[in-house]
Structure 1
Amino acid sequence: MIEWIFFFLMGMIILFFFSRFLGFKKENIGITFDQRYIKFEDYVHAILDELANKNYEAKYIGDRTFQVDGQKYVLVERNVKMGGAPLQQTMLKKMK
């Protein structure tokens, strides 16, 4: 019984640090697209549309930098495999 509790706690700790490694923090904004964007301009427009749908006031400044509700964020793009299909994951990390 103690082994099961130990393995459960270790799994939760690993999951916590893995999600932090992927960028899921309170001050970051995460977006996952089902569709892949090849052209960067289309990708930026999709990000701005998604932020508008989430009631953020956003604009693209340039050089992978966005201004969202008065704060600057930098774009970090990842390709994540989910169920054998790659997803385009977007993380906007708050600049300090």
Structure 2
Amino acid sequence: MVETMDELIAQVRGQLYRLQDLQEATSGIRVSETSPDGSVTAVVDGAGALVDLAFSDAIRSMSPAEFERVLTATAQAALARAYAERGELITAFNSGA
């Protein structure tokens, strides 16, 4: 329980700063994942957006279906890791750490 207005303001400021820290941390997430054969590298941010995509010469020997499979699997792996990082940050925030 808050007894004075100053305590209330301090408490609200503390929560605001923690929320800003969470936002900065989640917006700073960048996860890079490379396919096992090294042909595709996908970079995903904390919101799940694909922010970079790179290909090696190995894609030249792939069929369109194989390329699609490798690209999708690599992007999904990057996305899963980015969401896991974001989830850890949110869990820490919610626990008050």
More helix by share: 2
Give the TM-score normalised by the residue count of structure 1: 0.32
Larger radius of gyration: 2
More strand by share: 1
Give the TM-score normalised by the residue count of structure 2: 0.32
